[in-house]
Amino acid sequence: MSTKAAILSEIIKNRRSVFPESYTHEEIPTAIIEQILESANYAPTHKLTQPWRFTVITKDAKAKLGAELGAIYQRVIPKEKFLQKKYDSFAQKTSQANVIIAICVQFHEDKVPNWEEIAAVACAVQNMALTAEVLNVGAYWSSPPLIDHLGDFLGLSENEKCYGLFYMGYHNAEPREAKRTPMSEKVKWMEV
């Protein structure tokens, strides 16, 4: 295996979701955030639509996002299903992260099917996650149902939709093994 392939394989295999409760309060420099975002720009994109759109949420805007998620939760969850712990978790998670990036898709229905745009954005986020791993930045993609209601908060256009929040922070989480079944159980070969 070539050196590049070995390095890439190691990065891929070591990447894990790192959650906000493990984040330290160390600030991620803007240049590092931009480097992580720049890697997203090289994801595959059919017809070069480059559908990824990101909103970087930092500083006081994190508290505004936490309050907005809490307000949405209060508004859309029936009273009998409302959990105070869940409501409180929005402000807690947004305050624990150093940076939160809203993951959005800009659709081009006249050019490609929507699923291709979503797949391109998922590839872009994978690039971000791998770059964060190399830079020792913990990250994870959260996609609670409440994101369907963030369009106004994020200033999304009619042809855009939020598909998640990418939480990031330097962290003190211990490395952990991947839990994967063998690839041979997921692959079928056809030769004739």
In a domain, residue 66? The reply is: no
Asked whether residue 68 is assigned to any structural domain, the reply reads no
pLDDT at 1 over 80: no
Tell me if 7 is assigned to some domain: no
Number of structural domains (the chain) is: 1
Residue-averaged pLDDT of the chain: 96
**C-alpha count within 13 angstroms, C-beta hemisphere, residue 100:** 27
pTM given for the model:
0.95
Compute CA distances 17 → 13, 75, 192, whole Å.
12, 29, 40
Considering only CA atoms, which of 172, 129, 142, 173 is closest in space to residue 26? 172
Q: Which CATH number characterizes residue 29's domain?
A: 3.40.109.10
* DSSP bridge partners of 170: 137
Q: What is the pLDDT of residue 2?
A: 83
Report residue 30's pLDDT band, with 50, 70 and 90 as the boundaries. Answer: very high
Domain annotation covers residue 178: no
pLDDT-derived band at 33, boundaries 50, 70, 90: very high
Q: Per residue in 62-78, pLDDT tens? A: 999 999 999 999 999 99
With CA atoms as reference, report the closest residue to 173 among 22, 25, 26, 16. 22
